[in-house]
Amino acid sequence: MTKMSGWKKPDSMSIVFILLGAIMLLFIFAPPLKTVFSSSPGTLWNTLLEEDVYSSVLLTIFAALTATLIGLFLGVPLAYVLARHQFRGKRFVEAIIDVPIVIPHSAAGVALLFVFGSNFLFGKILNGIGIGFFRSFTGVVIAMMFVSVPFLIDAAKEGFKAVDVRLEKVARTLGASAWKSFFRISLPLAWRSIFSGSVLMWARGLSEFGAIIIIAYSASFLGWSPKVLPVLVANRFDFGLDYAGPVAAIAILISIITFIVLRSIAYRGEKA
């Protein structure tokens, strides 16, 4: 007499929604998948062995990592302040944080030049201490950081919000200073969100093209002069889709695989 209740028979809405959702997923996932499978593994391997490809991969990964580390140092405190304090204009500050997501990427590159270019304030300071910006590793890092740091700040903010503020309060009454309560309670409990925000920031940095092409078409790095991966792809596309395909596939593989692996580490052991 085993039977399923009527509830389990999907209603018309569920069917339509799942169908529309599947189209959406197909739209999102088909292009990268098609790109990856359009090149044979052999072609991908040979492409990866080209000097301007592997130097580009190294530059891109390393620059994005540097940007993420600086982002952690400056962004996590901001996220904590926003998660814990109420103040006038907080909405506005939160809107500002998302500004880099919404301004056109090439305009972001131009805007960064306006501030960090050698004729301008921060640029002069950087120059003064011997750090170049235009066509430099620093320029790449700053561009990546600018466009990607909102993801880290937003994720960290949500992470801190999810930590019961009373845990910190109890820690204080037990003798912990504000610093100790932050490092022993808040940070360990929010690390999952911060880590997955960092992964997103890193991956988003990796993906940046518009701001970087304005600032650093190529950058000197470890004796090479590589372009970042997105620039390399666009550069090769000038010679046609067949030529750009394998590099695009490599770029996609690197970002998707690291993103999904690191993200699953962040969520390991946690329920859906």
Q: Report the site for other proteins in 91-150 (rule: CB under 8 A).
A: none
Q: In this complex, which beta carbon is closest to other proteins, that of residue 171 or of residue 228?
A: 171
Q: Report the site for other proteins in 12-51 (rule: CB under 8 A).
A: none
Q: Which residues pair with 221 in a beta bridge?
A: 224
> Which residues, including other chains, have CB under 8 Å from residue 244's CB and lie 6 or more apart?
233, 234, 236, 237
Stretch that binds its own copies, among 47-55, 73-81, 125-133, 187-195 (CB under 8 A): 73-81
Give me the least distance between CB of 73 and other proteins, in Å please: 23
Binding of residue 167 to its own copies (CB under 8 A): no
Q: Which entry of other proteins, its own copies, none binds 28, CB below 5 to 8 A by partner kind?
A: its own copies
Stretch that binds its own copies, among 47-55, 84-92, 124-132, 187-195 (CB under 8 A): 84-92
Pairwise CA distance, residues 122 & 10, whole Å: 60
Percent composition of the chain: helix, strand, coil (DSSP 3-state, to 5): 80, 0, 20
User: Tokens 């405190």 sit at which residue?
Assistant: 77
Q: Report the site for other proteins in 167-186 (rule: CB under 8 A).
A: 167, 169-177, 180, 184-185
Binding of residue 4 to other proteins (CB under 8 A): yes
Q: Which entry of its own copies, other proteins, none binds 143, CB below 5 to 8 A by partner kind?
A: none
Identify whether the C-beta of residue 72 lies closer than 8 Å to the C-beta of residue 194: yes
Binding of residue 84 to other proteins (CB under 8 A): no
Among positions 103, 131, 176, 187, the unique one binding its own copies when judged by CB under 8 A: 103
Q: In this complex, which beta carbon is closest to its own copies, that of residue 1 or of residue 67?
A: 67
> Which two structure tokens, joined as six digits, stand for 181?
């309560």
Give me the least distance between CB of 148 and other proteins, in Å please: 28
Binding of residue 193 to its own copies (CB under 8 A): no
Helix (H) or strand (E) segment spanning residue 71: helix 51-84
Neighbours of 188 (CB within 10 A): 11
User: Tokens 């880290």 sit at which residue?
Assistant: 152
Q: In this complex, which beta carbon is closest to other proteins, that of residue 166 or of residue 268?
A: 166
Identify whether the C-beta of residue 168 lies closer than 8 Å to the C-beta of residue 188: no
Binding of residue 73 to its own copies (CB under 8 A): yes
Site string for its own copies, 206-245 (x = CB under 8 A): xxxxx--xx--------------xxx-xx--x---x--xx
Binding of residue 23 to its own copies (CB under 8 A): yes
Q: Which residues bind other proteins (CB under 8 A)?
A: 1-9, 11, 164, 166-167, 169-177, 180, 184-185, 188-189
